[in-house]
Amino acid sequence: MEWKVLKMNLNINKVKFVVFTSVLFMLPFGVLSYHFMNVSKSIARGNQSEKVALRVKTVSKLSADFLFSRYKFIEKVKSGGFKRWKIGKQKKYLEEEIRRNNRDYKGFAVFNGRKKVFDVENLNVEKSILDKVLRSSLSMGSVEFSQEEPPALIIAEPLFSGKSTKKIILCAKIDLSPLADLVRNYNMGGRGEIGIIDAGGQIIADSVGRSIMKPGVKVSAQIISNIEKAVNKGKSFSYSYLRLKEHKDNLIVIANIPGSQWWVYEISNFTGYDYYSKWAKKVVWKGIILIFVFGFISLKFAEFWVSGKVGPSA
């Protein structure tokens, strides 16, 4: 009976030795693991931020190229002798452009002040846009949203200087559906939402189809807030992390489209990009298992050394 009690006590002491040794190993290991996990998370976030930032900047640049290519014709008209032509010649010239590039332009109209001289494809323009052009002598534009067709950009370009008596304004309707194809192509296989918004925060095109289901829908208040902060700081690019109720981090990246007040945004869920974090957790768990194994090995070495069974005799 006494031998069984003694043996039980020895077994308990062995367990205590393994646990105590393992805990001693774990104290410094825990500190190092904490820093290791944080560094891994930072690397994962950094990699995700770089990938999303590159995608958003690329979409921003391609969108600017798209707008510039469509504006070339208007610039050509402005710099030429269009305003000195007779009305019949002007209308024929614009009709020919519609026939050549009917996928780009959906209509034209020429105004003298607020009075329409003629139009091509029944283009109507809001009086507020014309008033802004007449007051500033600068080009103005607004996005037109419709349930029947994709969003379109209405550009009102003054063909006059400030002192001109004839206030000729050329208006053009530019199809923006290629921007929807652009954001969808760049979000293939993506885990988030990428889109383009106008100066008022209305979604022109997005990868999840919200702009199609509800034309003119506004982007989230968080993105608008981020854009306002970037504008106030004079920045054309910004990103931030948003913690949701589900304890998940969302990465929000925004970039201005050069030459406009439009912005490209992307909301990307951090979950799924944390490869380094998962890898780091596996390393830490393997380390904990190894510590217990080393604790057991330490017990065996201690038994051998104390009993004098290991090592050369003196």
3-class state of residue 260 by DSSP? coil
Q: Cα–Cα distance between 16 and 24 in angstroms, integer?
A: 12
pLDDT band at 246 (very low <50, low <70, confident <90, very high): low
User: At residue 271, does pLDDT exceed 70?
Assistant: no
Task: Give the model confidence (pLDDT) of 292-313 as tens digits.
Answer: 787 778 777 777 776 655 444 4
Fill in the amino acid letter for 57: K
Task: Give the model confidence (pLDDT) of 11-20 as tens digits.
Answer: 677 777 677 7
Q: Same domain, yes or no, for 185 and 265?
A: yes
Is 309 part of any domain?
no
User: At residue 7, does pLDDT exceed 60?
Assistant: no
Question: What is the per-residue pLDDT for 306?
Answer: 66
Assign residue 197 the CATH number of its domain.
Answer: 3.30.450.20
Q: Quick one: what percent of the chain has pLDDT higher than 70?
A: 86
Is 287 part of any domain?
no
Residue 42 or residue 261, greater confidence? 261
Question: What is the per-residue pLDDT for 87?
Answer: 92
Is 37 part of any domain?
no
Is 28 part of any domain?
no
Q: Same domain, yes or no, for 76 and 171?
A: yes
Is 11 part of any domain?
no
E strand or H helix that includes residue 274: none
Q: What angle do helix axes 275-307 and 2-79 make, rounded to 10 degrees? A: 160
- Alpha carbon 190 to chain centroid distance? 11
Fill in the amino acid letter for 258: P
Q: Quick one: what percent of the chain has pLDDT higher than 90?
A: 39
Residues in a beta bridge with 108: 120, 172
Residues in a beta bridge with 170: 110, 157
Residue that finishes a domain, picked among 237, 254, 269: 269
pLDDT band at 5 (very low <50, low <70, confident <90, very high): very low
- Residues of the chain by 3-state class (helix, strand, coil), percent to 5: 50, 20, 25
- Determine which of 177-181, 213-217, 243-247 has the lowest per-residue pLDDT on average: 243-247
Q: Same domain, yes or no, for 188 and 54?
A: yes
Under a CB-based contact definition with an 8 Å cutoff, are residues 270 and 48 in contact? yes
Q: Same domain, yes or no, for 196 and 161?
A: no
Q: Same domain, yes or no, for 94 and 168?
A: yes
Alpha carbon separation from 217 to 134, 150, 207, 250 (Å, rounded): 29, 13, 14, 21
Under a CB-based contact definition with an 8 Å cutoff, are residues 141 and 165 in contact? no
Q: Which domain holds residue 194?
A: 43-63+179-269
Is 22 part of any domain?
no
Is 157 part of any domain?
yes
Task: Give the model confidence (pLDDT) of 198-233 as tens digits.
Answer: 999 999 999 888 888 898 999 988 899 999 999 999
Q: Same domain, yes or no, for 209 and 79?
A: no
Mean pLDDT of 177-194: 83
Residue that finishes a domain, picked among 109, 144, 175: 175
Q: Same domain, yes or no, for 170 and 73?
A: yes
pLDDT band at 153 (very low <50, low <70, confident <90, very high): very high
Task: Give the model confidence (pLDDT) of 29-71 as tens digits.
Answer: 777 777 677 777 777 777 777 888 889 999 999 999 999 999 9
Question: What is the per-residue pLDDT for 248?
Answer: 61
Through-space distance between the first and last CA atoms of the chain, rounded to whole angstroms: 38
Is 16 part of any domain?
no
Q: Same domain, yes or no, for 224 and 84?
A: no
Domains in the chain: how many in total?
A: 2
> Which pTM value belongs to this model?
0.75
Q: Same domain, yes or no, for 97 and 237?
A: no
Q: Same domain, yes or no, for 168 and 71?
A: yes
Q: Cα–Cα distance between 182 and 196 in angstroms, integer?
A: 10
Residue that finishes a domain, picked among 175, 205, 239: 175
Q: Same domain, yes or no, for 113 and 50?
A: no
Q: Same domain, yes or no, for 192 and 143?
A: no
